[in-house]
Every structure is written in C-alpha cells, then in structure tokens.
Amino acid sequence: MDFQLSDDQRALRAGVRELLAGRFGRDRMRAALDAGTGVDRALWRELGEAGFFALRLPEAEGGVGLGLPEAVLLFEEAGRSLLPGPLIATHLAAGPVKGAAQGEAVVAVLDAGQPVAHLGEADALLVLGPGDGRGVPEESATVREAATVREAADPVRSIDPFTPLWRVAEPAEAGEPLPRDGRLRTEGALLAAAEQLGSAARTTEMAVQHAGAREQFGAPIGSFQAVKHLCAGMLVRAELARCAVYAAAVTADPVEIAGAKLLADDAAVRNARDCLQVHGGMGFTWESDVHLHLKRAWLRSGQWLTAAAAEEVLAGNLC
Amino acid sequence: MDFQLSDDQRALRAGVRELLAGRFGRDRMRAALDAGTGVDRALWRELGEAGFFALRLPEAEGGVGLGLPEAVLLFEEAGRSLLPGPLIATHLAAGPVKGAAQGEAVVAVLDAGQPVAHLGEADALLVLGPGDGRGVPEESATVREAATVREAADPVRSIDPFTPLWRVAEPAEAGEPLPRDGRLRTEGALLAAAEQLGSAARTTEMAVQHAGAREQFGAPIGSFQAVKHLCAGMLVRAELARCAVYAAAVTADPVEIAGAKLLADDAAVRNARDCLQVHGGMGFTWESDVHLHLKRAWLRSGQWLTAAAAEEVLAGNLC
Amino acid sequence: MDLAYTEEEQEFRARLRAWLATVLPALPAKPAPDDWPGRRAYDTAWQRALYDAGYAGLHWPVDAGGRGATPTQHLIFLEETERAGAPYVGANFVGLLHAGPTIAAEGTAEQRARWLPPVLRGDEIWCQGFSEPEAGSDLAALRTRAVRDGDHYVVSGSKIWTSHAEVADWCELLVRTDPAAPRHRGISWLAMEMDAPGVTVRPLRTLAGSTEFAEMFLDEVRVPVSHRVGAENDGWRVTMVTLSFERGTAFVGEVVACRRTLAALAAEARRNGRWDDPVLRRGLGRLNAEFRALWRLTQWNVSEAQRAGSGGVPGTGGSVFKLRYSHARQELYEAAAEVLGADSADLDREWALDRLSSLSYTIAAGTSQIQRNIVAERILGLPKGR
Amino acid sequence: MDLAYTEEEQEFRARLRAWLATVLPALPAKPAPDDWPGRRAYDTAWQRALYDAGYAGLHWPVDAGGRGATPTQHLIFLEETERAGAPYVGANFVGLLHAGPTIAAEGTAEQRARWLPPVLRGDEIWCQGFSEPEAGSDLAALRTRAVRDGDHYVVSGSKIWTSHAEVADWCELLVRTDPAAPRHRGISWLAMEMDAPGVTVRPLRTLAGSTEFAEMFLDEVRVPVSHRVGAENDGWRVTMVTLSFERGTAFVGEVVACRRTLAALAAEARRNGRWDDPVLRRGLGRLNAEFRALWRLTQWNVSEAQRAGSGGVPGTGGSVFKLRYSHARQELYEAAAEVLGADSADLDREWALDRLSSLSYTIAAGTSQIQRNIVAERILGLPKGR
C-alpha cells in the first residue's frame, strides 16, 4: 500500500496546474467573467491537446491511457482554477462522441429534472439514464445533438455567472445509445467531487492568505482564535474530502464514490462560506473570487448525485 | 403588552430559588446523590407546602390559583437546582390524585414505550393517553396505583443517577379516568421545557464562572476567543429558549409549546455539552455537576414530546 | 408576562391598519432596484405620506418633532406595515434611524431645527460614511482625515458600504480630527453635503450582482465646522450613544417577513412534492420554532425597553438577537434552496437572490465573531483580551 | 495512489490472521473493569503471547528489541487484532507506545537494557505522570517539583489522569527541576518506581461512573538521578520528540471499531423499525461516509510516514485526524442514542456507556480547541497569539 501520489501523478498535477495558471490565471479568469465567456473554444482545444478529455481513453484509441486517479487530479485542478465549461461531460463522452477527446466538440449533460449547463455552447448532449443512485441500476446513457434540444429550451438566469443554464423539456425521443458500461453517473459524481475538492482546498488557501495579511485591532485577523479556528476547520474538511475522493478514484466503488461526493460537496460549500466570513465585507463584493467558488459549489452539489441520494447509498451499504 | 416578569412573578421565582438553595443546595444535592436518594419524602412535603404541586389548583380547591407562567418559573428553578423526583407528574396530578397537591403522594408518569421514572417510590401513576403530539388528538389520561404496576416491572440501570428507571409491561387494564381536558401531555412538555431552560441557564453560569477562574497559558481561559465564543453561544441558546418557554406558558398553544420544548431540549443538551468542554478534564469527573445536567437533559429530551414529534407539529402548523 | 396588547395599543393598531388599507392600494409601482432617482422618489413619497398621517418619527422624542411613541407602538407600526406590504423605510433609513436620532440627542438647537424636519417630511435623505476599506470590524481604526482650516474642516479619505450615496443629500461622517490621540479619542462626527466638491461616489457591486452599496472618495472636501455634532474629537461617544441604545425594534419587520417566507416555502414544498421528504419537512418545522422564538425575543426586548423608559436598553441585548437571527435567516434561504431543488440555480425564482443577499447577515453591522465577543465580554463579563 | 497491499504485506497479514485464529479461542475470560490485578494479568499475558510469537514491539526499532516493522505492517497488525477481537494493548499502553519509545530514543545503553525488555515481554507495566490538576491543556505549566539531594531527586506534587496507576511498576514522570527557568526549559523526565515511599494513588471517578483513571500524590518521593532520561532540564524536548513523531497508526483500531459499531447500529435500527425514519437512516449514511474517509485518511497518513522513513511524520497531521475523528465518534454515539430511543437511558444497553466515555474525546490528549490552534499555526502558518 502506498496511498500517496506517485511521481508521475505529481508531475501530471504540476503540469495541469501550470497549464491552467498560464491559460486561465486570475486575470484571464476575471476577463472571461466580465466578457460573459462560457466555453472558450481555443482553450477547449488546448485542454484537449493536453489530454484533459482523452485522458482515460486507451492509447490505441488515441487516448492517454490513464485512469480515474489521474482524472481526479486533473479535475481537482479545474475546480481550483474555476475553469468553466462542461468538462466532465466532455471527458465522459471522449471516444463515443466524435471530437470530444480532442476538445473539438463541447458535450453537455442532460439529467432529467436538472437544468442543462452550457447547452447554448454545446455540440452534443449526453443524456443520463434514469438510475438515481439510490440502488436503481443506472441505465445506459444516450447521445443527442445539442441543436435539436436547444430549440425547445429556455435560458435560465443562472446563479453561477460562469455556468449558463437552460431549462429543457423532457426528451421525447431516445438518442444514440452509448457503448459504455452504465457507470457514467458514478464517474461523473466522482469527477464533480474532485472539482469540489479543488475548490475547497483553494478557498482554504484564500482564507489563510487573507487572514495572515488583513489587520484589524492592531494585528492580523489570523492571530484571533475565532478566525484561526475557522481556517483550521476548513483544512480538516478539505483533507478528509481529499482522502475520500482519491480512494474512491482508486477503488471506483459506487459506495465510496457516494461518500466522496457527499464529503466533497460539504467541504466545497462550507469552505466557501467560511472563506467569505473570513474575508468579511470584502468577500461580499463581486471583485472577490470567493462567491464564484461558492456559487459553483452550490451548483455541483445538485449535480450527478445529491446529498440525499448519496446518504441513501451509504446507508444501504450498512446492511 | 409587557412580556417581562411581573413583580409577583419575580418574588415567586426568588422565593423558590431561596427555598431550593436552603433545602437542596449543592452540599445536600451531592449528599443525596451519594446516598442514592431519589425522592426525599420530607422535601416532597415541603415542596407541597410551598405550593409546588397545588400551584395551578383553584384556591377554592385548596390550591394557589396561579397559572402556567408561574408554574414555568417554578420548574425552571427545579431544573437549575437538579431537584430530582417526578415533579411534573405530581404537579399535573394535583387535584385528581389524593395527596398530590400537598406533596403527600408521589405520582410518576407512564408513557407507553418509555421507562417509568421513580416507579419504585411512586404511590400513583399517571398513564398518558396515546396522543403522540403529531396531530393525533390526545386521549384522556388515567390514574393507576403504582404498586400493581411495579409488580410486573424491572428496574433499569439509569443513565441519570438521580432518576431511577423501571421498564414496565404495557398496562393491560385501564385505570381510573382523569377528569382533565386532555392537555396533560402538552402541559408536561411545557414544564419539562422549563426544567431544561433552568438547566441551560445554570450550565451557562457554570461555564462562565469556570472560564473566568481557571488559568491556562498565563490567563483566564475565558479570555481566549475559543472559550468566550462557546459561552456566548450558550447564552444565546438559553435566552432564545427562555422567550419560547415563557411565551408558550402565556399562550398555552400546543404549537408554541412544541417549539419551546424543541429549543429548550436543544439548549439544555448543547449547553451541558459545551459546559463540559469549557471545564475540560475537570468536567469529565464525577465530582463535577456538569454531567448531572447533561444526563438529566438527555432524559428529558426523550420525555413528553420528542424532537421528531415536535418538528412535525411545527411543520404541520405551517400549512 | 403579558402578551396581550393594551386597549390603547389595539386602538393604535386598528387606526394604522385602517390607514394602510386606504393608502397602499394607491401607491405607484415599485421602481427597479437600479433606478436610484426612482427609488428616492418612491421612498420619500412614502415618508411624506407617513408625515402627513402623523406616523413620521414615531419613535423620535416629541421635542425633536417625533411622536414619542412607546417601543410597543413602534413594534406594532413595524409589524403592521410589513404585514400590509407597505414600503420599507428604504432611502430614509439613515436619517430616521441613525443620523436623525444622533442629532436629536447631541445636536444644538440650531442643528436640530436645520436637519430634523426635512428628515421627517422626506425632504432630505442621509447616508452613512462610517466604514472604511481598512477599518471593517475595527471601526475605530478609521483613517479619513479632517484638518481644520478656519471655520471649515478639509476632509480626505475613502468610505465604503454606503447605501443610497447616489441620491443622498447629507452624509453622517466619522473623521479623524486628532491623529495623535488614542484611536477612540480623535474622532469627530460631521454632517457633509453630498454635492460638495471633492465627493465622488462609485457603485460597489456585490456578489448578488447588485449595486446596493457604494464607495465614497473624499478629496479635500470642505465641511463647515458648524456641521460638527458634538465636541471635536468626541465623535466616537456621540455615535456610540445612539448606536448602543436601541429599543429592541431593529428587526421587527424582518422577523415578520421571515415567517411569511417560511409559510410560502411550506406551500411551495406541498406543491412540488418535496414536503413528503421528512428531512426537509422537519427542517422547516425547526425553523418555525426558531422564528417564532425570535418573534418572542423581539417582544421580550421591546418590553424591556418599554420598562426602561426613554433611555432605551443597552444594545448588548441586540447582539443576542442578531447572532441567532442572522444565522436562522441564512438557514431559511438554505431551506429555500432545498425546497426549490434544481430550480434554486435560477436567479429569477423567488428566494434565489435573497439567498445571496443573506450571506452578508453574519458580516454586516458587526460580524458574528464580533457579536460573540460583545455577548461574552459585556453581558457575561468574561475578561477582554486575546 | 496505491491501496493494494504488497505481497509481503499480504503474507504478513495472512500469518498474523492464522496466528490469531489459533490463540484467541484459548484466551481466558475478560476480567471485570474494576478488577485491576486481573486486568494487569490479562493484558500482560497477552503481551507475553505477542512476544513469544514475535509480534512484541512490532513498530520499535530492531536495536531496541523491536521488529522494525513498517508503518503499513503496524497498521495491518492493529487492523487485524481489532477485527479478530484480540485484547487491546491495555495496561501495556504507556510502556509500548510512549515511555518505551522515549527510552529507546533518548535513554543510555544501560537504561535501554534495564527497561525495554520487560516492557516487550509484558513483565513490567508503566503509567504516565504528565498531567496535573492546574496544568491541563497547558502541560508546560506543571508544578511537581524535583529537588536534587545527592544522587537522588526528591519529588513532591500531584498528577492526574493516570491510567493503570494501581498496578503499574513504573511511572514516566515530568517534573520541574529548575523553577527559575522559562516554563519549557526547567523540566526533566524521570522513571519513578510506583512502590517508592511517598507515592499515593487515589482512584478518580469519571462521569461514566468508572475509575479508569487515578490521581497520584507524590510526597518527597526519592528517585535516583540515574533514572533520569535525557539531560537535566531537557525533559520537555525528550518527551515531545516522542510525542510529535507518530506514524499515523494512533487510531487504527478505533476506526475499525467505529465502523463495526456503525454496522451494528444499522442492524439494530432495522430490527426495531427505526430504520424507516429517513432522518435517522440518512444520518447513519453520512456517518458511513465519515468513517470510511477517516479510514482512508489513516491509510494516507501511514503511507506518508512510510515514505518519510524511520523518522516518522510530524504529529501535526495527527491533529487533522483527531479533530474530525473525535467529533465523528461522539456523533456515532449520539446516533446510537437515536437508534435506541428510550432504551438509551439504560446503562446496561450496548453503547450507553460508550456514549458517556466518548464525551472525553474532544478533551483528552489535547482539546479540540488546542488541536485547532495546532492546525492553524503549525500547518497553515497563521500567526501565533491571541
């Protein structure tokens, strides 16, 4: 047993972090926010070239041939950097959907009852089967063209400025069946958990940085226990979520993935909340990045596997 | 509107506090604990003389002729002082059960599914009707002799050293019907909430006293924010519960009583927990009084109206 | 413990209710959130209506032009106006609830005569210039400087979190007049005209996307010395006297509104089927207990203030209320998100924007951390420090 | 990220499992909690059995008589013994897990030869005399005095929270040898014989009604200077070196036990019908996530220690674990009380006493408040102070 990152995994993580810092650092991120850019097609292709989407495709099929643990490291970095776009769906569609692996296609996801993120920019739609994560086995997903679905869809004013949402009618006709093994929902949940982990770790850093720099009452606010203990709680949440997410990536066990999603959702939302509290009034401004983490964390909590469904999976596992 | 204690109410509260300080101060309380005394018959009669049980009986029937608000002040003091015995049941039985009003009789309560507190010392048993607080209307209670029930009962090793418990078989035959208005369960819940409030306020005082006196790292521990904020949270819980309990006593509204029980249970249990945390290792000793408050608070949370039932009552009220 | 209203109080309520029933239907449509002139006009028209009906300055002392109402009458007023859906105090907030009372308590006869009547009539709007970017929780660390130049102060610095700055006539300003004095001793309270040269207002966008607040930049703004209320360097005491005496009514309307929201959430949950989830349903039940108790705590504090007489009660009791209330209200909107499910991501759905705004409750007007310090030190008497 | 055990580790596990299957059925009945001689005999017999089978001092360095096992092997050992229901380390705890490693790291050759073998063989039992009534979280405030008198120290003072004091042979004792020095600089580490004149042990009753701990009163107890480990006045460093290097294995058995308890709670809830309450059921599901993650965090910390080599890892990582674990375990017993309903008041029901004991988890061995300070200051680098 060696439950630590391998040298290759560390190198992979460092590479993605560097790529995102260069291509989607804070200035570009805020510029994209101001411009209302959802998916930047050029960046999407660069992500494709970097193997973001083809990561788990076999090398024989033009992929990188890596596994879920490596994918989790990538999506953790995406969560840290607030990278927008339907990354998970496009990653899951790599292979079956033409162009997804290369970042030529943008693939969004349709999960019944949920608004569709980035429908306006998507080429194709992954339609999840009705498996609800509560023991009902997941049915095979299908693929549809985005354009036809968009015709009967209405844009929603999204709470997350980086994630445009569309409300769609339930799809009447079936799409193309996907030659996958019915694990899309659980894999999606795991990758969303990885994004949440990245966000939770990032807001911890932001809170610590602010607490060390901001002075009130003649001292850095981080020297007051009230602030100090908020930050400590954030680290604990992020680190426990990290172990849950990494282990779930190694085992790919649906129960472990449910636990990872539950803890990572919790860590992302509560850490963003605490980060905002540590930032005080400054955290309440649009200028601050804290709210971008919080809003995305809220959205992700409702996607792929909700807390209620995850808790039922985890309870069912006890018997 | 004048939602503050009247002069008479203040005098009543001061009187009871004085009575209990004299008759059940800390030394006597600990002596009773060491001796394993449950109900002290002499004290019970003194409580009777002071009007503890006859408080709400009309003066024409030999009572004091006061109402629920005054009763709540009395039971709050009982909760503060850790006074043991089936106070609520005896109070509720005053009038219908001979000797209860005077403190000559000890009346315990039988609530289906619950262990019976102080059965071994009781003369009579108030058998609650099956109304469950969730909207099922409360059926009339009955009264039975304690001795016959005791024959088929087994003593339980009680978590609260002041509250001996007995497990009883469900009563086969009905007892004497009680000429009351089917409000015993709600009134019992309110008085239990008052006891919880007294306990919550007392553990707040204990924590503050300890935090001001105990020095660690060269300063009173109450000067550290971590301890300070625990104490502040305790006061907030106790004061909110106080307003809920007092208002429920004035209105006697079952929904308001459900809210009062819910908040007072929460305040008593969580304040005792936080008080223990503030006391550190010393709070973990038998010598400390903190655990006596916690154990009683746990017991009371399960009596008369549980959190689950209270929440359903309060939810039902929203529609 | 008496929760029944006196005959006089009931009459007051009935009269008010009758008046509201007459005037509210005739109100114009509410202006858009970013239409500042429209909002000013709307809010001041409502203040004028209150004035004409004898409700302006209800809680102000009679000698300041107010009605000298009891705290309970003020509570009834706030409860009934909220219930009836009357306009909120809005742009009149600072004038009626802070600057006005400060001037009434500490101003000269001349100052009272100049500034108080226009507030009551809705003729003039005030904003507040207290917070600064570098002085958030630590208000006394404020740096905006005022240097005496003859019969004027020359004021430079910046302020933040100023509501209605775009349309205010006056600003109650805390400035440092003696940089050498201990932090709390070198501060003065000034009334600054918002159209004075050197005042720049820049809207501040919040995370809710709105511009409810502004930043204010002061570049050598000249303020007459006669616009100082209280003695020079005594501004901290002047403003704290007003801040620290309240009558328990600060959140009356909000609690009423929260209880209405909670009932609406239950109705929506029944409609969309989520009511069948006991976790959600019992959570709403618990919130019902919270807000009912917060209402009772309000009545408790108001009754205490009523007994204390005109002095009001120290604001520390307000910290107990604010601590619980701000967290309960945030939980209310989290519950709303649960009820809405996936629709909670839709900003056009009810409660979605409220959820965002509610994030400030544990920060604004004293963070929960500061409030806990106040409760622990000033009510419980725990030692200061650390 | 590799969760698979190596072939060598799997063999180690298989051998251990086979051995446990042989010896456990032959164990005598467990003694009563208050039968101290019986408990000593039971625990030391088990240690002797481990010694004979080659498992004693598994994690000790070979040159101290240990087996030099890797952290992962130690994890496997603790996991398997807990799973199999083997006796807990019990009375051997301090000797094997603290005093022994301290002597191994800081003792002279003579001291190692004298004290280590009897610990490994289960011949001698140690207890710990660190905490004092006036020095709880603030351990360095200890007051027990040791005054040099020729080749002895004369020790007077009192200690608290000493487990197994009634039956221990030796006590690892922290004493103040230089009252004039800064708090951390005047402390020495002594090995004290428990039957020395002047040592009085008084059982300390906890809120659970049991006497797991004792107070120890020292009245001019003479301890040979040769029983001091490390230099005079260097005892703080001596003991912290041992405390601050752990290999992530501190709570392996406990996490395994919590997961077993959780499954048993689910089974009981199914039996008594409370499983149908979604609030309770989903709460158990959430605890499943917690304890699964705590198990993974354990494996993470152990793997980190394994990579770090013989030095182990700084104990700060342990603070992250302990913070979450102690709260999760308290929640576990609150869930147990929910499952039991009214029966939770019955001390003879399973989990009722555990619930009481669990109240100490957020206090003992560093309160959660102290742990948060450690995490904030030593891991996150926030400024000390306040």
Query: How far is C350 from chain D, CA to nearest CA, in Å?
Result: 27
Are residues D337 and B299, on separate chains, in Cβ contact within 8 Å? no
CA distance A19 to A24: 8
Residues C87, C34 share a domain: yes
Same domain, C91 and C11: yes
β-strands D170-176, D126-129 pairing: parallel
Instruction: Give the CA-trace dihedral at A139, A142, A147, A153, to 10 degrees.
Output: -10
Average pLDDT over residues B20-37: 95
Contacts of B165 in chain D (CB under 8 A): 345-346
Q: Would you call C246 a catalytic residue per the annotation?
A: yes
My answer on whether D142 and D107 are in the same domain is: no
- Interface touch C279/D278, C-beta < 8 Å: yes
Strand residues in chain D grouped as ranges (E)? 126-129, 145-149, 152-163, 170-176, 187-193, 199-204, 213-224, 228-229, 245-246, 313-314
Is the pLDDT at B133 greater than 70? The verdict is no
Residue D306 and residue D219 share a domain: no
Q: What is the pLDDT of residues C267-317, one digit of tens each?
A: 999 999 999 999 999 999 999 999 999 999 999 999 999 998 766 556 677
| Within-domain flag for C280 | yes
Q: Residue C104 corresponds to which amino acid?
A: A
Residue range C99-138, pLDDT digits in tens: 999 999 999 999 999 999 999 999 999 999 999 998 888 9
CATH of the domain at D153: 2.40.110.10
Confidence of residue C385 (pLDDT cuts 50, 70, 90): confident
Å from B302 to nearest chain D CA? 7
| Res. C34 pLDDT band, cuts 50 70 90 | confident
Domain limit, last residue, from C234, C266, C287? C234
Is the Cβ of B298 closer than 8 Å to some Cβ of chain A?
A: no
Same domain, C143 and C250: no
What is the average per-residue pLDDT within C340-351?
96
pLDDT at B132 over 60: no
- The mean pLDDT value of chain C amounts to 95
Furthest CA-CA distance within chain A: 66
Contact C279/D at CB under 8 A: yes
Cβ–Cβ < 8 Å for C275, C266: yes
Which of D371, D373, D380 is the mutation pick for testing A, counting most A CBs within 10 A?
D380
The predicted model gives D256-280 an average pLDDT of: 97
Higher pLDDT, A175 or B127: B127
Is the domain of D48 the same as that of D103? yes
Instruction: State whether C278 and D282 contact (CB < 8 Å).
Output: no
Say which DSSP state C343 is in.
Answer: G
Say yes or no to pLDDT of A132 above 80: no
For chains A and B, count residue pairs whose Cβ atoms are closer than 8 Å. 8
Domain end residue (candidates: D201, D234, D267):
D234
In angstroms, what separates the C-alpha of A224 from chain C's closest C-alpha? 7
D354 and D306 in a common domain = yes
How wide is the angle at C-alpha C113 spanned by C-alphas C107 and C116, nearest 5°?
A: 80
Task: Report ipTM (2 d.p.).
Answer: 0.96
All structural domains of chain A: 184-316 (1.20.140.10)
The whole-angstrom distance between A278's CA and the closest CA on chain B is: 15
Q: Is C119 helix (H, G, I), strand (E, B) or coil?
A: helix
Render pLDDT for C177-222 as a digit per residue (tens, 0 to 9): 999 999 999 999 999 999 999 999 999 999 999 888 999 999 999 9
Res. B228: pLDDT tops 90? yes
pLDDT band at B180 (very low <50, low <70, confident <90, very high): low
CA pair distance D97, D59, nearest whole angstrom: 9
The chains found to touch A (3+ Cβ pairs under 8 angstroms) are: B, C, D
Whether the CB of A193 is below 8 Å from some CB of chain D: the reply is no
CA distance B262 to chain C (A): 8
A316 and D286 in contact (C-beta within 8 Å)?
no
In order of A87, A89, A175, A304, the CA distances from A149 in angstroms are 19, 16, 11, 20
Model pTM? Answer: 0.97
Give the residues across from C289 on adjacent strands.
none
The verdict on A226 touching D (C-beta cutoff 8 Å) is no
Q: What CATH number did the domain enclosing D340 receive?
A: 1.20.140.10
State yes or no: pLDDT of D312 exceeds 60. Answer: no
- If 0-12 CB within 10 Å is exposed, 13-18 middle and 19+ buried, where does residue D63 land? exposed
Q: Does A298 touch chain B (CB under 8 A)?
A: no
Task: Report CB contact under 8 Å: C307, B4.
Answer: yes
Whether C342 sits inside 8 A of A156 (CB atoms) is: no
D22 within 8 A of D83, measured Cβ to Cβ: no
Strands (E), chain A: 107-110, 116-117, 124-127, 142-145, 153-156, 165-168, 176-177, 215-216, 219-220
- Exposure of D348 by Cβ count < 10 A (0-12 exposed, 13-18 middle, 19+ buried)? exposed
Contact C285, B311 (CB under 8 A): yes
Residues D168 and D253 in one domain: no
Structural domain contains residue C2:
no
Contact C377 B228 (CB under 8 A): yes
C84 domain-assigned:
yes
Residues D103-132 have pLDDT tens digits of 999 999 999 999 999 999 999 999 999 999
Same domain, D111 and D215: no
Which amino acid appears at position A314 of this protein?
L
A244:D5 CB<8 A? no
CATH of the domain at C17: 1.10.540.10
CA distance C99 to chain B (A): 29
| Nearest chain C alpha carbon to D386 | C386
Query: In terms of domains, do D161 and D285 share one?
Result: no
Suggest the residue from A134, A154, A157, A170 to mutate for an interface test with chain C (most C CBs closer than 10 A).
A157
Cross-strand pairs, C156? C145
Please check whether residues C67 and C88 belong to one and the same domain: yes
Q: Output the pLDDT for position B169.
A: 81
Host domain of residue D358: 244-379
Question: pLDDT > 90: what percent of chain B?
Answer: 87
Alpha-carbon gap, residue D226 to D190, rounded angstroms: 9
C134 has a chain D CB within 8 A of its CB: no
List A residues 121-150 in contact with C (Cβ-Cβ < 8 A).
Answer: none
Domains: count for chain D: 3
Per DSSP (E only), the strands in A21-123 are 107-110, 116-117
Does D363 contact B284 at a Cβ distance shorter than 8 Å?
A: yes
Largest Cα span, chain D? 72
Instruction: Say how far apart CA B50 and CA B77 lie, in whole Å.
Output: 13
Question: Would C385 be classed as within a structural domain?
Answer: no
Chain C residue closest in CA terms to D283: C279
Chain A residue numbers touching B226 (CB-CB < 8 A): 225-226, 229
Give the closest residue to A200 by CA, choosing from A306, A300, A103. Answer: A300
For residue D91, tell me if it sits in a domain. Answer: yes
Mean pLDDT taken over chain B: 94
Nearest to D294 by CA among D265, D332, D264: D332
Q: State how far the Cα of C251 lies from the Cα of C248, in Å rounded to an integer.
A: 8
Domain stops at, among D121, D150, D169: D121
Q: Which residue of C has its CA nearest to B224?
A: C386
Residues C252, C179 share a domain: no
